[in-house]
Structure 1
Amino acid sequence: MPEGHTLHRLAKLHQRRLAGGVVRVSSPQGKFAAGAARVDGQLLVRAEAWGKHLLHHYESGLVVHVHLGLYGKFTEGLVPMGEPVGQVRMRIFGGGPGEAPGFGTDLRGPTACEVYTDAEVAALTDRLGPDPLRRGADPDRAWQRIHRSRRPIGALLMDQQVLAGVGNVYRAELLFRHGISPQRPGTALSAGEWDAMWTDLVALMGVGVRVGKMVVVRPEHDRGEPSYAVDRPRTYVYRRPGSACRVCGTPVAHSVLEARNLFWCPSCQAG
């Protein structure tokens, strides 16, 4: 599932290429036809991300909310875009014939693509934890929930009501970088440890927004066994079960925590 940096990259792209102009919105697949008709031909005021949610704000006050889920993906192109290929839930574009070349994007396979009111957006954001990529995000909101909970920190980091935007990769790599066992209860985490983790997470996810990839391995450890996929940077533990830890050589461990795969180094993250 795409993590928060992917949604923030998309929001920045849509803000730069579509916001401030009138856009055409359709649903070639038909599943979003009624929603598309409500915003088609309107001025797109701004695009923003909050955790794993993308929000398109229109001049009417309506907001298109997108959650990519496991399979959702945007593909971009220039106007005219040609016939839709595959199951396109939403097509949105600005500009076109007779103007400077426009920009368009097709959305396929999202978990959610729906029209919200401002009140519904507020209800969504109120139940999300702080997003490390949003200016002014308050890490103390997450800390207040973490240090009162006996749930494992590995589970708390993935709870979007505690912390918005963090998924399995950032969870695994952040805990490794700070030498914290994913099984440690939230109540056993110190305020200093959380402050260091938040600062690191803001920096790591910021890099993800800028370069479009999760770069989590420190330069001095960026060697040896290749990444788990040809188009991904190396990781310390994520998707490396049984492989030697890049720091200590201990085989990376794997288990399942709250129905999600968990990876860690038993030596570097002991206790």
Structure 2
Amino acid sequence: MPEGHSVHRIARQFALHFVGKQVAVSSPQGRFAAGAERIDGLRMLSAKAVGKQMFLEFEHDRWLRVHLGLYGAWDFAGNFTADATTASASGRMGQTNQHGTVVDGADAVADGADGTAAAGTVVGEHEDSLASIGAPRRTRLRMSEQEKASDEVSDFPPEPIGAVRVRLLTADTCADLRGPTACEVLTPDEVQVALNKLGPDPLVDDNGEAEERFVATVRKKQTAIGLLLMDQSVVSGIGNVYRAEILFRARLDPHTPGKLIPEELVRELWRDWATLLEIGVTTGQMMTMDGLTADDYTAALASRDDRHWVYHREGLPCRVCGTNIVMELASARKLYWCPSCQAPLAKRP
């Protein structure tokens, strides 16, 4: 499932290439025909990501809500910028980072099948990032839990490939949605109901208020922090990778009840999430290791194996203490952690 940084990157594509334009909307698959008819021919007004969900605003108070879920993906084709992180402030849907600024895009490299650097693949949970293409060109890009660019498009608009739930089409750019968990047209009131169910997102909400909300929610819960971080009503956008890495970076036992975690440590969790999310949106990769040399950083950009502290490292020695990393199931999702570095708070010196 795409984590928060991926959905923000997708929203930026819409902000940069669809907002302000009249959009032809159809459902090649047929399952979304009625919804497509409600927004067909309308101008897109804004594109907003909150956690793992995206909200596209159209004229006449109509919104398209999309949750990609486990299998959903957007395929972009036509003239577009493959790395939209260089979008202007208006292209960022009014979002800023915690310092009130818009960060520039960062070039990245990708690993090939043999683990060596190879251009053309961009990352989500399991892959790596596409180098910024820069100026728009007629090409294809799939965006979901991973991003993958392909050859240039010869005919535009291209024929739909597979079961396309909804197609959004302008004179220059086409976006096809496949396999989402949710795809529906909502009124503003219905959008607000959906938003009210979501926890704070560092790239959307006022960071001070969002931090206070997160801290207050976590510190009143008996639930283990390893489960709270995956609860989208507690905090938006964190998935399996970020959950494991944020907890390791805090040296926090994932089984610790939220209410037993010192307030300052809960605040550190929030601030670290805000930092990692911004890095993920900028680079297209979940880069969670820090303190790296220039060479190590380049290696981490090139290979997931060099990018994370504990995620996907079951049975391998901890990069800090040498203890084997453990994997267990937590609410049917894989949780990776170091039993030594992440010892219970009561056992810390």
CA root-mean-square deviation: 1.9
| Residue aligning to 2:212 | 140
CA contact (8 A) 1:215 1:233 kept: no
| Distance in 1 (alpha carbons) for counterparts of 2:305 and 2:322 | 21
**Match status 1:81 vs 2:157:** yes
| Distance in 1 (alpha carbons) for counterparts of 2:292 and 2:318 | 13
| Distance in 2 (alpha carbons) for counterparts of 1:144 and 1:27 | 43
Deviations 1:111-162 (CA, angstroms, capped at 9, x unpaired)? 1111111111100111111112214141111221211111100000110111
Please show how residues 147-186 of structure 1 align to structure 2 within 5 Å.
Answer: 147-186=219-258
**Match status 1:131 vs 2:179:** no
| Distance in 2 (alpha carbons) for counterparts of 1:91 and 1:22 | 13
Please show how residues 215-254 of structure 1 align to structure 2 within 5 Å.
Answer: 215-220=287-292, 234-254=307-327
Consecutive unaligned residues of structure 2, counting only runs of 5 or more, are 80-155, 345-349
Please report how far the alpha carbon of residue 220 of structure 1 lies from its aligned counterpart in structure 2 after TM superposition. 3.2
Deviations 1:164-221 (CA, angstroms, capped at 9, x unpaired)? 1111111100000010010011011111101111111111100111111100011438
CA spacing shift, 1:183–1:231, aligned 2, 3 Å: closer
**Match status 1:29 vs 2:29:** yes
CA contact (8 A) 1:253 1:265 kept: yes
Q: Secondary structure at the match of 2:236?
A: coil
Please report how far the alpha carbon of residue 81 of structure 1 lies from its aligned counterpart in structure 2 after TM superposition. 2.1
| Distance in 1 (alpha carbons) for counterparts of 2:47 and 2:34 | 21
| Distance in 2 (alpha carbons) for counterparts of 1:148 and 1:195 | 14
Consecutive unaligned residues of structure 1, counting only runs of 5 or more, are 96-101
1:117 to 172, 187, 190: 187
**Match status 1:261 vs 2:334:** yes
Deviations 1:94-116 (CA, angstroms, capped at 9, x unpaired)? 11xxxxxx011111111111111
CA spacing shift, 1:215–1:154, aligned 2, 3 Å: same
Please report how far the alpha carbon of residue 233 of structure 1 lies from its aligned counterpart in structure 2 after TM superposition. 5.7
| Distance in 2 (alpha carbons) for counterparts of 1:232 and 1:9 | 23
Q: What is the total number of aligned residue pairs between the two structures?
A: 263
Runs of 4+ in 1 over 6 A off after TM superposition: none
Q: Percent of pairs identical after alignment?
A: 44
TM-score by length of 1: 0.92
| Distance in 2 (alpha carbons) for counterparts of 1:13 and 1:135 | 20
| Residue aligning to 1:91 | 167
- In structure 2, give the amino acid aligned to 1:264: W
| Distance in 1 (alpha carbons) for counterparts of 2:75 and 2:320 | 38
CA contact (8 A) 2:218 2:266 kept: no
Q: Secondary structure at the match of 2:292?
A: helix
| Residue aligning to 2:63 | 63
